[in-house]
A and B are shown apart, each in its own frame.
Chain A
Amino acid sequence: MKLILLFISAAIVNNFVLSYFLGICPFVGVSKKVSSAVSMGMAVTFVMVIAAAVTWLIYHLILVPFGVEILEYVSFILVIASLVQLVEMFIRKVSKPLYDTLGIFLPLITTNCAIMGLALFSVLREYNFIESIFFGIGAGAGFTLALVLMAGIREELELADVPKHFQGAAITMIVAGSLALAFMGFAGLISI
């Protein structure tokens, strides 16, 4: 039960993009079309879940026992970067169609703060292994949801008469603000 709540909390109530501002770069960059937003969301969720598991193991089985928590950030970012490379190679070997859909988005993920943020939040909130993984799935789902919603709105915006100076990034921010406002309606639904 707690795991389900954790999932909903990470996906909707405390949405990674709209309330923690994690993963804003792809949110602005890759949210022009719904189809690419879905692929990006899937790629991020995929890496997130693996990263959640691996960083948890590293933190609790290596850093804490040896008393070298100070290496937390260095090791996390290295793990995430290598993980992204491995996942990319693995997908290319295993499934060509999957690689064609996700491939170009994978390198972008290394500097996606959502992944690093996920690893840091898991440590900070003292989640256990299973909770970390559910947190990862929830956060990934939340990221995908925000990205797809945004892409849907931006497709419509193409047809709208946006004031000249607001075109591009500015209107994206305003729309994101309205979305964030809407998501605030979920506040307090669940608290963990």
Chain B
Amino acid sequence: MAKKVNSLKYEFIKGLWVENPVLISLLGLCPTLAVTVSAVNGLAMGLATTFVLTSSSIIISLIRKFIPHQVRIASYIVIIATFVTVADRFLAAWFPPISKELGPYIPLIVVNCLILGRQEAFSSKNNSGRAILDALGMGSGFILVLVALGGVREILGSGAFFGFTILGDWFNPWMVMILPPGAFLTLGFFVAGVNWLNERRAAQ
């Protein structure tokens, strides 16, 4: 199989761009769109997702040989849901304002197709080392997109970045950017931008 020849480095960096979970594979769109009203929210959501993804990948790649094929999905979702609960309670106990802000979107990591997808496509077939690299790569790619989306929406919608006002009084915030339509529009332009960049690269 082609997978075997992938270098370890590639397992990590493929998630950042070539197989970026959001921009290329369009996975995990629900949290991507919902929480990115600010860069901080994007970062927190990205970190929580990466934590769940990496921890579940480690466990699942370790026990993959013991799980009967028929119950693999059920086993995966129990493991994923366990880590999501851990992350949710962690935020509620140590970072209550963030927990309040992200609300039900933290538990919804359970059904983030990105996580289940990586377990099915990668962790269940590879050893832990590769699974960790893959998970960290995908997670970083996810964080990058979330922070970028959150950043753009925050700058245009509130004239700030990570909570610091950067655009002066002359700037009239585009309220629509922090409302639901802004999420769809920004992501649409992101995906189109990626298409354009990839095509330019291919042409060279």
Are A166 and B188 in contact, CB atoms less than 8 angstroms apart?
A: yes
Instruction: Compute how far the CA of A76 lies from the CA of B110 in the bound complex, rounded to whole angstroms.
Output: 10
Q: Contacts A28-B29, A78-B74, A121-B104; is A73 near B110 (CB within 8 Å)?
A: yes
Residues in A38-75 with C-beta less than 8 Å from chain B: 70-74
Instruction: Compute how far the CA of A180 lies from the CA of B74 in the bound complex, rounded to whole angstroms.
Output: 34
Instruction: Compute how far the CA of A116 lies from the CA of B108 in the bound complex, rounded to whole angstroms.
Output: 7
Q: Contacts A70-B89, A112-B111, A176-B184; is A22 near B82 (CB within 8 Å)?
A: no
Are A111 and B116 in contact, CB atoms less than 8 angstroms apart?
A: yes
Are B185 and A24 in contact, CB atoms less than 8 angstroms apart?
A: no
Chain A: residues with Cβ within 8 Å of the partner, total of 47
* B148 in the interface (beta carbon within 8 A): no
A53 CB → nearest B CB, Å? 19
B136 CB → nearest A CB, Å? 22
Are A180 and B184 in contact, CB atoms less than 8 angstroms apart?
A: yes
Query: Considering only CB atoms, which chain B residue lies closest to A117 in the complex?
Result: B108
Contacts of A23 in B (CB 8 A): 30
B202 CB → nearest A CB, Å? 13
Residues in A7-39 with C-beta less than 8 Å from chain B: 18-25, 28
Are B181 and A178 in contact, CB atoms less than 8 angstroms apart?
A: yes
Q: Contacts A170-B191, A177-B185, A181-B176; is A24 near B33 (CB within 8 Å)?
A: yes
Q: Contacts A77-B110, A81-B73, A184-B180; is A21 near B29 (CB within 8 Å)?
A: yes
Interface range on chain B (Cβ under 8 Å from partner): 35 or more
Instruction: Compute how far the CA of A121 lies from the CA of B74 in the bound complex, rounded to whole angstroms.
Output: 23
Q: Fill in one digit per residue for A149-192: 1 if any B CB lies within 8 Å of its CB, else 0.
A: 00000000000000111111111111011101100100000000
Q: Contacts A24-B33, A120-B107, A180-B180; is A74 near B85 (CB within 8 Å)?
A: yes
Instruction: Compute how far the CA of A177 lies from the CA of B187 in the bound complex, rounded to whole angstroms.
Output: 9
Decide if the interface of chain A is mainly helix, strand, loop or mixed: helix
Instruction: Compute how far the CA of A74 lies from the CA of B79 in the bound complex, rounded to whole angstroms.
Output: 8
Instruction: Compute how far the CA of A22 lies from the CA of B191 in the bound complex, rounded to whole angstroms.
Output: 20
* B134 in the interface (beta carbon within 8 A): no
* B8 in the interface (beta carbon within 8 A): no
Instruction: Compute how far the CA of A22 lies from the CA of B183 in the bound complex, rounded to whole angstroms.
Output: 13
Q: Fill in one digit per residue for B24-47: 1 if any A CB lies within 8 Å of its CB, else 0.
A: 001101110110000000000000
Instruction: Compute how far the CA of A50 lies from the CA of B169 in the bound complex, rounded to whole angstroms.
Output: 52
Contacts of B29 in A (CB 8 A): 21, 24-25, 28
Q: Contacts A165-B195, A177-B188; is A21 near B183 (CB within 8 Å)?
A: yes
Q: Fill in one digit per residue for B162-204: 1 if any A CB lies within 8 Å of its CB, else 0.
A: 0000000000000010011111110111011101100100000
Instruction: Compute how far the CA of A112 lies from the CA of B110 in the bound complex, rounded to whole angstroms.
Output: 10
Contacts of B103 in A (CB 8 A): 124
Residues in A92-128 with C-beta less than 8 Å from chain B: 110-113, 115-117, 120-121, 124
Are B182 and A173 in contact, CB atoms less than 8 angstroms apart?
A: no
Instruction: Compute how far the CA of A177 lies from the CA of B182 in the bound complex, rounded to whole angstroms.
Output: 7
Are B111 and A113 in contact, CB atoms less than 8 angstroms apart?
A: yes
* B144 in the interface (beta carbon within 8 A): no
Contacts of A78 in B (CB 8 A): 74, 77-78, 81
Contacts of A20 in B (CB 8 A): 34
Closest 4 CB pairs of A and B: A173-B188, A177-B184, A170-B192, A177-B185
Which B residues are within 8 Å of any A CB, using their own CB? 26-27, 29-31, 33-34, 73-74, 77-78, 80-82, 84-85, 88-89, 103-104, 107-108, 110-113, 116, 176, 179-185, 187-189, 191-193, 195-196, 199
